[in-house]
Chains A and B, each alone.
Chain A
Amino acid sequence: METTTIAAIRKDESERRQVYLEDARFAWRPSECDVIDIDRFEVGRGERLFIAGPSGSGKSTLLSLLGGVVVPREGRVEVLGTDLSKMPGRDRDHFRADHVGIVFQMFNLVPYLSMADNIMLPCRFSHRRRQRAQARSTSVKADAMRLLADLELDRPALLARPVTDLSIGQQQRVAVARALIGSPEIVIADEPTSALDEGTRERFLELLFRECDTEDTTLLFVSHDARLGRLFSRCVLLDDLNNATTEAFT
């Protein structure tokens, strides 16, 4: 009786659990020492998690692990209940296309594609996200336009412009639209605000939160700027998680 309850709770917990790391160790090269050494780390569904850490502490590396771009030397990296470390590279790329949206610090856009084409990119690599975008607004293009409108980027003058002529803030909003199209379960943002000024930064975060809320998307946000942490539902310091000694400046 009691065991079933515990099992039920465990099951419920693992369903809520979207990201789970266990004894994950990673080094960029076999000869180098570990950049990531995390015993246990989990993120629940719909969480807005802020990961802070100084430059060089391994924040981007952690996100690469979660995105399935690299695999740990040992241990588990589970995303949506799937252990990425056991997957062949091709399936991990597929998995990332289907379930993870990524926003970088800057230079997020493919320079030769229009704003709408940039946003639709994930739907070209993921059947699932294409279908979900279509289900939501009849066509992928329409969904891209919906997101542009949500992010206040639908002015005709902007749409006609090459993406390289957009301001950094506008580029970052396009990148958010791209991360969100086709409603992936997880959005990973690697210091997307570091190139923005303070006012723009707050507005950008508001937009990001609002969009993530509508789809109950889990947001993993890394930054070296710990002051942003107060806006998030949970805040962790990478150094608290990570046993690896990095060459980070402290």
Chain B
Amino acid sequence: MAIIRLALKSVWNRRVTAGLTVLAIGLSVAMLLGVEKLRRDAREGFANTISGTDLIVGARSGAVQLLLYSVFRIGSATNNISWKSYLDITQHPRVKWTVPLSLGDAHRGYRVLGTTLDYFERYRYAGGEPLRFATGKPFNDVFDAVLGAEAAERLGYALGDDIIIAHGAGDVSLIEHDDKPFRVSGILARTGTPVDRTVHVSLAGIEAMHADWRSGMPVPGQRVSADDAREMDLTPEAITAFLVGLDSKIAVFALQRHINEYKGEALLATIPGVALQELWDLMGVAENALRILSLLVVTTGLLGMLTMILSSLEARRREMAVLRSVGARPLHIFGLFMSEAGLLALLGVGAGVLLLYGIILMGRPIAAREFGLYLPIGLPQARDFMVLGIVVLAGFVVGGVPALRAYRLSLADGLSMTV
């Protein structure tokens, strides 16, 4: 007990160097835990984002890419699919429902999704949860918009507000469709998926916005007012992708083949679970690399501690002799150095946990915006505690080196203060 008190005071006395050591260990621990948490949350978040959909269909590209842009709003499609192909496939006898998705516009950094009312009926997340409205109702006018929970909250929109949608998915859009404002008709309840960050409008709404546009640019001198647009034929020529639900799971593979071999245009149908698995496989390599890297960083942190204690050893031989003179046994000296190392490791681990939560709190909006990743704050899990325990243990083991040296020195030096 006396030794623990001494260790505390000794560490406090060297609080600057000790603080830096703790910080180094803390950062390394935060990284170690962070990589693990990111992996877990990414998998969980991605797996929770879509459920109940049998196939996702888009222009032919990679299954992972299709999944990412259609469901997670990451990246964008290289090609659209024609409305005709979409209609053809909806005619297939096994198809129970479809939800067309038209992406490409943004509102102040939030993606705009053109879709149909079926979206609110059919879209499922987190193992079968349907979308719910916090207030308002689905769009029923061309210029109605339904906001995801976060988009509404962040932008401070309420029911009935006007919003102006910009072209292009970027944060800063140069061309705004300011002549045709949309009105907020509903706000969805929070889902913890990219839906929260989406502005939903009807397919007709997307068409109306672009009524006076040709090939992605406004046609000079030609302005179509909102009321005129309402009168036009607003059937889209193309959409980005669509979700398909079948009347029987057995038909999934047959329909997938049917779509992949579709004559009219090069399409790709993918099963969400399969595409997710492909994504995990892709991420696995990066995850392992990160894991190894963070282990190395932890090792560096602990070696930093070793260096700090070892380099103080010579200067502390007098202190050791003084302690011996008042009755401390060599084992006490050993314990003192062990306690200091253990204390630093414990503090480091504590700092690591705090740092991690700090980083998560600050990084949440960025992760959600840039990567569609929703990081829950959640308590550390059993596995995390195991990792923390191992780091503390490693700290003690590393601390054993200077402690053993101090033990030997205190035996050899006795009370002599020649150093």
Contacts and interface: CB of A to CB of B under 8 A. Distances in A.
Interface string A88-107: 01100110111000101111
Interface of B: 2, 5-6, 9-10, 12-14, 318-319, 321-332, 414-417
Nearest to B12: A112
B407 to A, nearest CB: 12
A113 B327 contact: no
A81 B2 CA distance: 29
A111 B317 CA distance: 12
A98 B327 CA distance: 8
Interface string A103-138: 011111111110001000110111000000000000
Contacts of A111: 13, 319
Given A67-B325, A107-B417, A108-B322, 10 more contacts: A60-B415, A93-B327, A93-B328, A97-B327, A112-B9, A113-B9, A125-B2, A125-B327, A125-B332, A126-B327
A166 to B, nearest CB: 15
A110 B319 contact: yes
Contacts of B318: 107
A102 B12 contact: no
A102 B13 contact: no
A190 B418 CA distance: 12
A64 interface: yes
B319 to A, nearest CB: 5
A151 interface: no
Contact of A109 (B322, B328, B414): B322
B382 to A, nearest CB: 38
Contacts of A126: 327
Contacts, number: 73
Contacts of B415: 60, 63-64, 67, 69, 102, 104, 190
A173 interface: no
B417 A93 contact: no
A112 B9 CA distance: 6
Contact of B416 (A60, A106, A113, A124): A60
B10 to A, nearest CB: 5
Given A60-B415, A102-B415, A96 B322 contact: no
A70 B414 contact: yes
The 6 nearest A-B residue pairs measured at CB = A97-B327, A112-B13, A125-B327, A124-B2, A69-B414, A102-B325
A104 B9 contact: no
B323 A110 contact: yes
A110 B416 CA distance: 16
16 contacts: A60-B415, A60-B416, A64-B415, A67-B415, A70-B414, A90-B329, A93-B329, A94-B327, A97-B328, A104-B322, A107-B318, A110-B6, A112-B12, A113-B6, A122-B327, A125-B327
Interface in A211-239: none
Contacts of A125: 2, 326-328, 332
A90 B326 CA distance: 13
B394 to A, nearest CB: 26
B418 to A, nearest CB: 8
Nearest to A109: B322
A89 B417 CA distance: 20
A12 B56 CA distance: 105
Contacts of B14: 112
B313 to A, nearest CB: 14
Given A69-B324, A93-B328, A94-B327, A112 B417 contact: no
Contacts of B323: 110, 121
A124 B6 CA distance: 10
A25 interface: no
A61 B413 CA distance: 11
A106 B322 CA distance: 10
A76 interface: no
Interface in A29-79: 60-61, 63-64, 67, 69-70
Contact of A105 (B6, B329, B332, B417): B417
Contacts of A67: 325, 415
B189 to A, nearest CB: 57
A19 to B, nearest CB: 16
B108 to A, nearest CB: 56
Given A89-B329, A93-B327, A111-B13, A64 B319 contact: no
Contacts of A93: 324, 327-329
A179 B409 CA distance: 23
A206 to B, nearest CB: 23
A178 B326 contact: yes
Q: Which of B6, B10, B326 has the most CB of A within 10 A?
A: B326
Contacts of A105: 417
A219 to B, nearest CB: 16
A215 to B, nearest CB: 17
Contacts of A102: 325-326, 415
A110 B414 CA distance: 16
Contacts of B6: 110, 113
